[in-house]
């Protein structure tokens, strides 16, 4: 698609004296400016016996600082017609607000105040610990298949591996945590040198750098913290069966795949799209429509920055078909794909779909600033966004086929998730 291939955002970068890296993407016609900060800390950086801290901060960061009352950060942004939120993954915690241009100073001031003087008090900690417990209940414990991700991760990483637990963490660990532990985690990771700021919207680079310096430049410099090096997990593929109060049997096949920045990820994404994205996909045609061994098939990736990622194929077997039979059919079709590769048209369709989704993410300043920060952390430069369309255009059927041969022909781990009354 020509629009994507012409993509050329003007990206201007600088590093403040305190180590904060700043990238500005001026967009004079955007309706607002996105302020997007990625702290390079996630559940990967936690002590496996003290998990959930990175995510706890996603909450504590809205509880006030020297000049901001508890909850005031969100209230101020909203009252100025902005949107604000934060999320935590294995490798980073992102904080973002999109505000009218006239409130950019305020947004940067708010970020600076909490970066330098977050109010880590017993009261805030106790209240947010309860909110996090409710979040875990609502999003995991109270949902059918709510422990699925945890079970999947456990097939690939031992519990003491940095990727061996989910960002939501252990509620027991949070109960055991002291205020000093929490303060220490903040001091270790919430430093200008461990953060990247992307501004996208109607602001020129020079002006944006001045504002970043005026507010965030005042946060004291501290050395950039080191991140652990993660071993490649040596877990063999395994076959796990679990029962739960769920409506349908599901089967997940999953493989160890390379870290997020590896060249094979884009061709693997295309392969997954060709195999399992929608009713035109290979596996839908073969396993759902033709062989009637599954009612639906999907694929997903769980990328990791510093070690092995996880790639999955999932199917819901047709009534009366066992998860083993469905899983075997997926493996057979995958082998067929690895043998012959995709057709030119299949790849062209996958690329066209990927490109549209990607351009839709770039269409808002919030989505664009987050993708720029993602590229910066994953590939070392926000400018990777400008190269991405060319990488996509350079793909061919052989590269996609070879990526599948290299990474998805090993025996997968298999997870059978069955309703309580059904046996395998």
Partner 1 sequence: MKRPTVSLAGAWHFPEPQVLALEGGTQIWAFDLPGQHIAALELVLPTSLSTEPRPIEGVATVALHCADEGTRSNPDGRISELLELQGAALHGHASQSHTSLGGDAPAHRLPAVMELLAEVVTEPSFEASDIEHHVEMQVAAFDSRVASPDWVAKQALRQVLFGRDSREGRPVAGTPETLKAISRDDVLAWHSTQWRGGNATLVVAGDLAGLDLSSALSPLNRWGGDAACADTAPQAHRPTQIVLVDMPDTVQATIHAGGLTVGRRHPDWAALKLGGHAMCGAFASRLNLELRERQGYTYGVGGGFSARQDDGQFFVGGSFRVEVAADALRRLLDGLALAQPFSDAEVQDAKRYLIGVAPLANETASDIARQAAVLAAVGERASFVNEHFAALELPTPSEVTSAFRHHVHPDATSVAISGPASVLVPALQAAGMDPVVIS
- Interacting positions 137-176 with partner 1 (CB under 8 A): 137-139, 141-144
Pattern 358-387, partner 1, x by CB under 8 A: -xx--xxxx---------------------
What is the bridge-based pairing of β-strands 93-99 and 33-39?
Answer: antiparallel
Binding range to partner 1, per CB under 8 A, among 35-43, 71-79, 172-180, 382-390: 71-79
Pattern 284-303, partner 1, x by CB under 8 A: -x--xx-----xx-------
In the list 279, 394, 421, 423, the residue contacting partner 1 (rule: CB under 8 A) is: 279
Asked if 316 touches partner 1 (CB under 8 A), the answer is yes
Would you say 99 or 327 has its CB closer to partner 1?
A: 99
For the bound state, the minimum distance from the C-beta of residue 306 to partner 1, rounded and expressed in Å, comes to: 29
Locate tokens 């679990």: which residue?
242
In the list 8, 15, 79, 160, the residue contacting partner 1 (rule: CB under 8 A) is: 79
Would you say 96 or 189 has its CB closer to partner 1?
A: 96
Locate tokens 């994507």: which residue?
4
- Beta-bridge mates of residue 415: 240, 252
Would you say 18 or 307 has its CB closer to partner 1?
A: 18
For the bound state, the minimum distance from the C-beta of residue 379 to partner 1, rounded and expressed in Å, comes to: 24
For the bound state, the minimum distance from the C-beta of residue 397 to partner 1, rounded and expressed in Å, comes to: 15
Would you say 84 or 299 has its CB closer to partner 1?
A: 84
Q: What is the CA radius of gyration of the chain?
A: 23
Structure tokens that stand for 63 in this block: 């509880």
Would you say 75 or 300 has its CB closer to partner 1?
A: 75
Select from 293, 297, 308, 331 the least CA-distant residue to 414.
331
Per CB under 8 A, contacts with partner 1 among 17-46 are 29-32
Would you say 322 or 361 has its CB closer to partner 1?
A: 361
Would you say 117 or 378 has its CB closer to partner 1?
A: 117
**CA 342, CA 338: separation in Å to the nearest integer?**
9
Would you say 21 or 368 has its CB closer to partner 1?
A: 368
**Which run of H or of E encompasses 282?**
helix 282-283
Report in angstroms the alpha-carbon separations of 247 from 91, 243, 419: 33, 11, 6
Decide if 271 contacts 400 (C-beta within 8 A): yes
As a dihedral over the C-alpha atoms of residue 337, residue 340, residue 343, residue 348, rounded to 10 degrees, the angle is: 60
For the bound state, the minimum distance from the C-beta of residue 105 to partner 1, rounded and expressed in Å, comes to: 4
Please state the φ and ψ torsions of residue 95, each to the nearest 5 degrees. -125, 130
For the bound state, the minimum distance from the C-beta of residue 309 to partner 1, rounded and expressed in Å, comes to: 25
For the bound state, the minimum distance from the C-beta of residue 380 to partner 1, rounded and expressed in Å, comes to: 28
Would you say 102 or 231 has its CB closer to partner 1?
A: 102
Decide if 93 contacts 87 (C-beta within 8 A): yes
Binding range to partner 1, per CB under 8 A, among 167-175, 220-228, 264-272, 343-351: 343-351
- Quick one: DSSP state of residue 20? -
Counting residues that bind partner 1 (by CB under 8 A) gives 75
Decide if 163 contacts 303 (C-beta within 8 A): no
Binding range to partner 1, per CB under 8 A, among 12-20, 68-76, 164-172, 192-200: 68-76
Structure tokens that stand for 277 in this block: 């994205």
Per CB under 8 A, contacts with partner 1 among 88-117 are 98, 100-103, 105-106, 109, 112-113
In the list 15, 71, 263, 339, the residue contacting partner 1 (rule: CB under 8 A) is: 71
Binding range to partner 1, per CB under 8 A, among 39-47, 123-131, 148-156, 165-173: 123-131
**CA 272, CA 298: separation in Å to the nearest integer?**
9
Helices (H), 118-241: 122-136, 148-154, 171-176, 179-189, 205-215
Asked if 280 touches partner 1 (CB under 8 A), the answer is yes
Q: Residue 362 burial by CB count (10 A; 0-12/13-18/19+): exposed, middle or buried?
A: buried
Report in angstroms the alpha-carbon separations of 309 from 227, 239, 304: 17, 19, 5
Per CB under 8 A, contacts with partner 1 among 213-272 are 215, 218, 245-248
Decide if 183 contacts 117 (C-beta within 8 A): no
Asked if 336 touches partner 1 (CB under 8 A), the answer is no
Decide if 330 contacts 414 (C-beta within 8 A): no
Binding range to partner 1, per CB under 8 A, among 155-163, 185-193, 333-341, 345-353: 345-353
Decide if 210 contacts 42 (C-beta within 8 A): no
């Amino acid at each position: 698609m020509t629009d994507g291939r012409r993509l050329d955002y003007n990206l201007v970068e600088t590093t403040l004296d305190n180590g904060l890296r700043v990238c500005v993407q001026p967009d004079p016609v955007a309706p607002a400016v996105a302020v997007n900060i990625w702290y390079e800390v996630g559940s990967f950086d936690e002590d496996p016996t003290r998990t959930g801290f990175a995510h706890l901060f996603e909450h504590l960061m809205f509880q006030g600082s020297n000049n901001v009352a508890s909850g005031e950060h969100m209230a101020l942004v909203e009252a100025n017609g902005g949107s604000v939120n934060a999320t935590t993954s294995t490798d980073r915690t992102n904080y973002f607000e999109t505000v009218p241009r006239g409130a950019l100073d305020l947004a940067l001031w708010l970020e600076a105040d909490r970066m330098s003087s977050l109010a880590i008090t017993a009261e805030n900690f106790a209240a947010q610990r309860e909110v996090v417990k409710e979040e875990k209940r609502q999003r995991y414990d109270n949902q059918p298949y709510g422990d699925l991700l945890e079970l999947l991760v456990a097939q690939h990483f031992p519990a003491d591996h940095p990727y061996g637990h989910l960002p939501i963490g252990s509620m027991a660990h949070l109960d055991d945590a002291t205020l000093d532990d929490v303060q220490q985690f903040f001091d270790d990771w919430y430093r200008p040198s461990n953060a990247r700021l992307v501004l996208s919207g109607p602001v020129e680079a020079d002006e944006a750098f001045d504002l970043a310096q005026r507010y965030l430049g005042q946060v004291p410099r501290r050395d950039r913290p080191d991140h652990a090096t993660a071993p490649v997990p040596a877990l063999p593929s395994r076959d796990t069966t679990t029962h739960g109060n769920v409506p349908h049997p599901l089967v997940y096949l999953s493989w160890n795949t390379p870290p997020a920045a590896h060249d094979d990820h884009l061709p693997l994404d295309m392969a997954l799209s060709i195999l399992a994205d929608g009713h035109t996909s290979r596996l839908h045609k073969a396993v759902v429509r033709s062989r009637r061994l599954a009612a639906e098939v999907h694929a997903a990736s769980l990328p990791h920055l510093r070690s092995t990622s996880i790639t999955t194929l999932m199917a819901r077997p047709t009534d009366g078909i066992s998860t083993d039979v469905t899983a075997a059919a997926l493996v057979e079709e995958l082998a067929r794909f690895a043998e012959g590769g995709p057709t030119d048209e299949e790849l062209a369709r996958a690329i066209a779909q990927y490109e549209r989704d990607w351009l839709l993410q770039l269409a808002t300043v919030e989505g664009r600033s987050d993708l720029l920060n993602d590229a910066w952390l994953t590939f070392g430069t926000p400018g990777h966004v400008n190269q991405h369309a060319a990488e996509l255009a350079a793909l061919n059927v052989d590269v996609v086929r070879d990526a599948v041969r290299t990474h998805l022909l090993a025996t997968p781990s298999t997870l059978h998730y069955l309703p309580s009354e059904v046996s395998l």
